[in-house]
Amino acid sequence: MLIEESREIVVVIDSDRRLVAASRRAREAIEGLEEGTPLPEGILEGGEGHVPFVVPYEINGQTETIVYLSEPGDLAAYQELRAGFTASVSHELRTPLARLLALLDSAELPDSNVPELIELARREVRQIGELIDDVLFLSELESGKEVVSLGISAAVPLLREVADELAESAERAGVVIEIEGADETELPLRPRMIRVIARNLIENAIRYAGPGATLSLSVTSDAGRGVDLTASDDGAGVAEHELARLFERFYRADRARTSRGTGLGLAITKHIVTSADGDVIASGGEGQGLTVRCTFPAVDA
């Protein structure tokens, strides 16, 4: 199922090079792909203008091979993206590590408040742990290890659960959370993925909306258009020229650069939504609040 729904050109063959499975895009790009028949000549040698990446594995004692066929230039682009991502992760880890080292050095100074410094050090360790968790989760999403859209779930009860879990943090930040929508409205996602999206959207408002802001998290359904999951706050907002970049990994708007967020929450949200054939957009402006709207295809009855 995962292979068939992949957006990449992917095929699986057995030890005799007979086709076991193929993605929809592979069937569109390569003629003659039929299960149980030999893979067309030249595919594994780079024919048809594709660059093969081959991964053999064993299942139930039998050897099979998964073959990813990239377009010319795709591999170089992927390697460039991976190098950039690695550099970004390294950069993001340096800041809390530097603060942690400074705190430990301070603890050795005469008359230092050791208990306070230890608590601050714990905060930095938690920050590092959150960053690592988000990086690993995003990596799992992109590698297909986390299945995004196998399931349909009633969304509003899950939103309430997450809001309750974050109620204390919201109160400390002076942010009010409101959940709106019919309990039975469904999204084409597993419960865990809905919780991840809800947590990311709520935490984003807690960190950046500012004291006195209200966040409305709502689910609405339009039979002819689809289902929307919308997070809208009336807080500080962001500059209009920054809206398009909010979903980039590690990007933070100017006023949020001192935040202890990982900079990956909205990137993860976008990946989940688009993997479920949805779309996500941000709107608002400085002093006008922020609205993040996740639109999904209509759920079949």
Last residue of a domain, one of 125, 143, 161: 143
Is residue 91 scored above 70 in pLDDT? no
Do 217 and 93 share a structural domain? no
Is residue 80 scored above 60 in pLDDT? no
Within a domain: 65: yes
Q: Please write the tens of the pLDDT for every residue from 31-68.
A: 778 888 888 777 776 655 566 777 777 766 778 888 87
Do 234 and 220 share a structural domain? yes
| Residue 238 burial class via C-beta count within 10 angstroms: exposed 0-12, middle 13-18, buried 19 and up | buried
What is the dihedral sign for C-alpha 114, 115, 121, 125? positive
Do 82 and 56 share a structural domain? no
Structural domain containing residue 266: 153-296
Do 158 and 288 share a structural domain? yes
224 vs 261, higher pLDDT:
224
Within a domain: 106: yes
Region 259-269 average pLDDT? 70
Do 224 and 175 share a structural domain? yes
Contact criterion met (CB below 8 Å) for 51 and 69:
yes
Do 288 and 221 share a structural domain? yes
Contact criterion met (CB below 8 Å) for 287 and 272:
no
Whichever domain contains 59, its CATH number is: 3.30.450.20
Do 251 and 131 share a structural domain? no
Note the pTM of the prediction, 2 decimals.
0.57
Within a domain: 236: yes
Last residue of a domain, one of 70, 96, 127: 70
- Which residues partner with 10 through β-bridges? 68
Maximum mean pLDDT: which of 32-36, 211-215, 254-258: 211-215
Whichever domain contains 109, its CATH number is: 1.10.287.130
Q: How many domains does the chain have?
A: 3
Last residue of a domain, one of 70, 90, 111: 70
Within a domain: 301: no
| Residue 7 burial class via C-beta count within 10 angstroms: exposed 0-12, middle 13-18, buried 19 and up | exposed
Do 214 and 239 share a structural domain? yes
144 vs 19, higher pLDDT:
19
Other CB atoms within a 10 A radius of the CB of residue 168 amount to 9
What percentage of the chain's residues is helix, strand, coil (to nearest 5)?
45, 25, 35
Region 109-117 average pLDDT? 88
Closest to 189 in 3D by CA, of 247, 150, 230: 150
Within a domain: 148: no
Q: For residue 163, give the H/E element and its range.
A: helix 156-165
Do 224 and 281 share a structural domain? yes
- Angle at the Cα of 46 (from 42 to 47), degrees rounded to 5? 45
| Residue 25 burial class via C-beta count within 10 angstroms: exposed 0-12, middle 13-18, buried 19 and up | middle
Do 83 and 61 share a structural domain? no
Contact criterion met (CB below 8 Å) for 26 and 10:
yes
212 vs 94, higher pLDDT:
212
Do 132 and 161 share a structural domain? no
Do 57 and 87 share a structural domain? no
Within a domain: 224: yes
Whichever domain contains 240, its CATH number is: 3.30.565.10
